[in-house]
Structure 1
Amino acid sequence: MPKRILQGTVTSAANDQSITVSVERRFTHPVLKKTVRKTKKYRAHDSENAFKKGDFVRIIECAPYSKSKRWEVLEA
């Protein structure tokens, strides 16, 4: 099965080698037929501490780095 790749904005880069990425998805509500925006936060591994808050990044699934980190930064 291929690894998922998501795009989002860095919301926190406070911890060493870790960033929090907020990923937004849009879909049409099945009953209301209205476009709904939902966001979800993912913890990602950033080994060089290269990314700051507000950067737009792509993340990819990987083997777990810790209890909460299952993603790593692919590119900016």
Structure 2
Amino acid sequence: MRAKAREAAKAAPRGEPTPPREPGEGRQKTRQGVVVSDKADKTITVQIDVARRHRRYEKVVRSSTTFHAHDEKNDAHIGDTVIIRESRPLSRLKRWRLVEVVERAK
């Protein structure tokens, strides 16, 4: 029975191989936050605040996360609202890069 199954598998026409995965632009995550530090060269620290409602108690729970992002032109400064996009690891902490400065600090 095994021999018959092997012969049938060899005789069956094979489909096209799976194409390689292409790096798509739509895959990276984007976040909007406020710059809290720009002291390092070509690096900004972005704080992202999230407010969500607790599933059971319905109370608004606020949390924040900080990300280190690559700023090639040292364009963003403290207080600016920016959009960052996920990228390959650039250093030990930097996994994001600056896309644009949405609003300048006053």
TM-score in terms of structure 2 length: 0.69
Aligned residue number for residue 74 of structure 1 = 99
More strand by share: 1
Give the share of equivalent positions with the same residue, in percent. Answer: 36
Aligned residue number for residue 10 of structure 2 = none
Where structure 2 has 5 or more consecutive residues not aligned to the other structure, the ranges are: 1-25, 102-106
TM-score in terms of structure 1 length: 0.95
Deviation string, structure 1 residues 5-46 (Cα, Å, up to 9, x no partner): 000000000000000000011111122201111100000000
> What is the Cα-based RMSD across aligned positions, in Å?
1.0
Where structure 1 has 5 or more consecutive residues not aligned to the other structure, the ranges are: none
Which of 1 and 2 has higher RCO (CA within 8 Å, sep 6+)? 1
Aligned residue number for residue 16 of structure 1 = 41
User: Is 2:82 the partner of 1:57?
Assistant: yes
| Equivalent residues, number | 76
Moved over 2 A (4+): none
More helix by share: 2
